[in-house]
Amino acid sequence: MERLIFHVDVNSAFLSWEAARRTAAGEQDIRLIPSAIGGDRDKRTGVILAKSIPAKKYGVKTGEPVSMALRKCPGLFLAKPDFRLYEKNSRAFMDICRSRAPLVEKYSIDECFMDMSGTGHMYPDPMSLANQIREEIRDSLGFTVNIGLGPNKLLAKMASDFEKPDRVHTLFAAEIETKLWPRPVGELFSVGRSTAERLEKGCIRTIGQLAGADQRYVQSLVGQKLGRQIYEYANGRDSSPVLPEPEEAKCYGNSTTLEEDVTDMDAAGNILMALCDSAASRMRADGARAACVCVTIRANDFKNRSHQCRLENPTDISAQIFQTSKQLFAELWDRRTPLRLLGVTLSEISREGYDQLSLFGGESREKSQKLDRAMDAIRSRYGSGAIARGAVMESGGRVGRKFKAQQDLKREE
% of residues, the chain, pLDDT over 70: 83
What lies within 8 Å, CB to CB, of 85 at 6+ separation is 17, 18, 21
Angle 112-115-118 from CA coordinates, rounded to 5°: 165
Q: How confident is the model at residue 380 (pLDDT cuts 50, 70, 90)?
A: low
Q: What is the mean pLDDT of residues 161-187?
A: 95
Instruction: State how far the alpha carbon of 331 is from the alpha carbons of 260, 295, 297, 306, 326, in Å.
Output: 22, 10, 11, 10, 9
- How far is C-alpha 88 from the chain's CA centre? 19
Contact 105, 112 (CB under 8 A): yes
Chain segment 307-316, per-residue pLDDT in tens: 999 988 889 8
Identify the residue with better confidence: 337 or 359: 337
Instruction: Look up the CATH number of domain 252-412.
Output: 3.30.1490.100
Give the best-scoring range by mean pLDDT among 87-91, 254-258, 297-301, 302-306. 87-91
pLDDT at 412 > cutoff 80:
no
For residue 385, name the pLDDT band (cuts at 50, 70, 90): very low
How far is residue 111's CA from residue 94's CA, in Å, rounded to a whole number? 8
Q: Average pLDDT, stretch 346-359? A: 64
Confidence tier at 357 by pLDDT (50, 70, 90) = very low
- Residue 253's φ and ψ, nearest 5 degrees, are -150, 165
Residue extents of the structural domains in the chain? 14-82, 181-234, 252-412
pLDDT of residue 393: 38
Task: Please give the average per-residue pLDDT across 274-284, as a whole number.
Answer: 86
Residues constituting the chain:
413
Has residue 336 got a pLDDT over 60? yes
Mean pLDDT, to the nearest integer, of 321-325?
Answer: 92
Residue 129 CB partners (closer than 8 Å, separation 6+): 100, 116, 123
What distance in Å separates the CA atoms of residue 122 and residue 126, rounded to the nearest whole number? Answer: 10
* CATH 3.40.1170.60 at 14-82, yes or no: yes
Tell me the percentage of the chain whose pLDDT exceeds 90: 51
Model confidence band, residue 121 (pLDDT cutoffs 50, 70, 90): confident
Please give the pLDDT value at position 41. Answer: 63
181-234 placed in CATH 2.60.120.10:
no
**SS3 category, 280:** helix
Catalytic residue among 111, 135, 197, 331: 111
Query: Active site includes 111?
Result: yes
Say how far apart CA 321 and CA 274 lie, in whole Å. 11
Handedness of CA 372, 375, 380, 386 (dihedral sign): negative
Whether 378 has a pLDDT exceeding 70, the answer reads: no
Residue 108, phi then psi, degrees to nearest 5: -160, -175
Rounded to an integer, what distance in angstroms lies between the CA atom of residue 41 and that of residue 43? 6
* Topology agreement, domain 181-234 and domain 252-412: no
Strand-strand pairing, 145-150 and 103-108? unpaired
- Coil, strand or helix: which one is 193? helix
Q: How many CA atoms lie within 13 A of 342 on its CB side?
A: 30
